[in-house]
Every structure is written in structure tokens, then in C-alpha cells.
Structure 1
């Protein structure tokens, strides 16, 4: 797979998905890097098994596959592509420096480009909520993020709670809570919070 020649745009798409460590819509790609993955670019990355693109409504959401992650690692040692331009040339100098750093420290790309947990919590909430502003129980949220240690998830939720559009509420009807609901609660300001609410974007 590493012998397959990719265009600069295709390489750029892989590297952005690697660096963000999460699914990205075309709108997010454009906002972050100034381009989208569509048309021949999307089809080729999908056919090569480097990116999975799924329809979310009328928009595509793109995610790096394991094969795509392997290809990103090979890019750290790749020569500068022909006609890469100034920015592309500088990028490959930076990638080579990154390779030297990882070799010297024994680190991995996964450690360096870990997913933004706050963003992952928000993405999971929007998947579970029927519409923005609907409550999602922390018990259900934790079940869908069961690979995240509880203390790290608590920290992410506490960080999100500082935003004006994010609310962590306690359940008024305590009798409706199960033991699992109580175990999943987050203590904030001295009181137990059982529900996450994220308002719709303005």
C-alpha cells in the first residue's frame, strides 16, 4: 500500500485526519485546512482503504482507517512530493523532524495526536441526543465512552461545564434514579449531576 502514489491533496487529507484523531466533515476539513475530501479524492481514498467516508444527512463524514494510519507513518520518511509547493515542502521538512523526534523518544503518533476528549464527549452527546438541548444521562454517556477512564471523563465534563452552552444538571426526582445512575453521577459544586445538556449552536 505504501508504494501507491497519492496526490498532494490525498496526502494532506490523511495527515489532517491523523492530526485531529477524529471523524471530520467536509465543512470541518475546510475550516481547519482549507480543502474538502470529495469527488475523485474521496473515492480514491475510500477504494484504497485509507479513509472511510459515511453519509451523515447530506454531508460526508471522513475517518482514517488503520491502513490510513500506517500510510501516515510512512509519510514521515517520504520524500517531498513533486510540485508540493512552498507549504508542502515545508510540511515534509516538519514531518521528517517529527520522525526524528519519535525515533529518539520511542513515542508513537497515537500518543502525539490523541483525540480531543472534550470534543469526543460533545460528538457522543450529539449522537445520543434526539436534538440539541435534549438531556442525555451521564450513565448512558459513560456506557458509550467505556474505553475512557472515569477520572479523565470527569475532567472533560468539568471542563465542558465552563462553557455557557453546556449544562450538567442534577435529577430533581431522586426516586427515579437507579444505582447505576448514581454511580455515573459527577459531583460538581458539592452536588451530584446526572444529566448532560448541550445547546444548539447559534
Structure 2
């Protein structure tokens, strides 16, 4: 979850789209593209709503290529927590009213939202970033070096993300052709894909 030194603007209410974005980011606990936001919560964050949430330091949006990746800030999480005791918004509708009833129930439980919705790093994105720091597009990197460079995620999370990336367009994992050159670290860092150990990775577009 991104940190922020800003604060919300008193007296300004968020619209339903902006509220939906904040709660979707909270529930998912990770950075999301607009496509991922839509898949998870049926909402996107573009244009004026994005600028508004960015200006209020509730969401941090980072441009990656031609698109944005959105992350809830600490102020955004605090806003969500404050909504546990808030009245339902005007024109919330039946579903919105029920949702705010659930929020009040969560507030009465006394369980912090950070425990209910812990932050989950986007390990696939971390792998791509780590690869980009170690090599240029189309270059092979050994998995020991890659694992050393990755800053977040458990062994199981990283293995799962590597397995997903193994079938992603432009990503290749292969075994070390010279089996005699394999070290204990190479074997320890390897993952098994299709019944075969893979020891190195190459990403065409970085």
C-alpha cells in the first residue's frame, strides 16, 4: 500500500465511481490496472475522477507504458476505515445501501480493515521490474540472480508468478543447456514447468 503525506479535503464528498474504486483497491490489496479494476469491481479510473483521487492523495496512479496502474494510499485506506461509521450516500440505491450496512457491521466487529484486507504485492510485476534491472529485453537471466533481486513475495508466491509468466506472451523460461554447469543455487532456484526444471528466464519486452 502506498504511503502519502497528504490529507483529504474536508467537506468534499466522493461520487459513487470514486467510492467504488477505493473499496475495490482496498479489497484487492494490490496495484490494479483499469482492466483489473473493471474485472474486480466493474469500475475504471480515468480522467477527472483519477485526477481528483490523485489530488486528494487517496490513490496513487503510475503510468506504465500508455496505461495507468492504481494503488490505494494510506490516506485512501484511512478514508475507507472512516466509512465504517458513515451514513450511506444519497442515491446509493438498494445495493449501495446494503453495502453500507455491511460496512457498519464490519465497524462493529472491531477488526481492523488492514487485517481483513491485507496488502498483497503484485509479484508478477515485481518479477518484471527485477528482470529489467538485471538485463535488457531478450537477454537471459538466471533464476538465482532474479530471486535475489526480487524485493517482495514468499517463495511460493514467486514460484506461482513464474509459473504464470511461463505461459505469458513474450516470456520464456528454459533449462540450462549445459547441465554440468548447474550449481546447487541453480537447482534450488529452479521451477518445474511441464515436468522439466527451468533455470533461466528471458522477457522480450522487458
TM-score of the superposition, structure 2-length normalised?
0.70
Q: Deviations over 1:82-121 (max 9, x none)?
A: 11112211211122223334x2xx4x4333324557xx33
Q: Deviations over 1:124-183 (max 9, x none)?
A: 34443666x9865433442343333335544x358648x865875332234666775455
Q: Determine the C-alpha separation between the residues in 2 that align with 1:159 and 1:186.
A: 8
Aligned partner of residue 114 in structure 2, secondary structure: helix
The answer to whether the aligner puts 1:7 opposite 2:15 as a matched pair is yes
Decide which of 28, 35, 40 is 1:32's aligned counterpart: 40
Q: Determine the C-alpha separation between the residues in 2 that align with 1:176 and 1:158.
A: 22
Residue 67 of structure 1 is matched in structure 2 by: 75
TM-score of the superposition, structure 1-length normalised?
0.71
User: Matches of residues 39-54 of structure 1 in structure 2 within 5 Å?
Assistant: 39-54=47-62
Structure 1 residue ranges without an equivalent (≥5) = none
Cα distance, 1:79–1:139 mapped onto 2, change above 3 Å = farther
Residue 109 of structure 1 is matched in structure 2 by: 113
Cα distance, 1:96–1:195 mapped onto 2, change above 3 Å = farther
Cα distance, 1:110–1:188 mapped onto 2, change above 3 Å = farther
Residue 195 of structure 1 is matched in structure 2 by: 200
Structure 2 residue ranges without an equivalent (≥5) = 1-6
User: Matches of residues 72-87 of structure 1 in structure 2 within 5 Å?
Assistant: 72-87=80-95
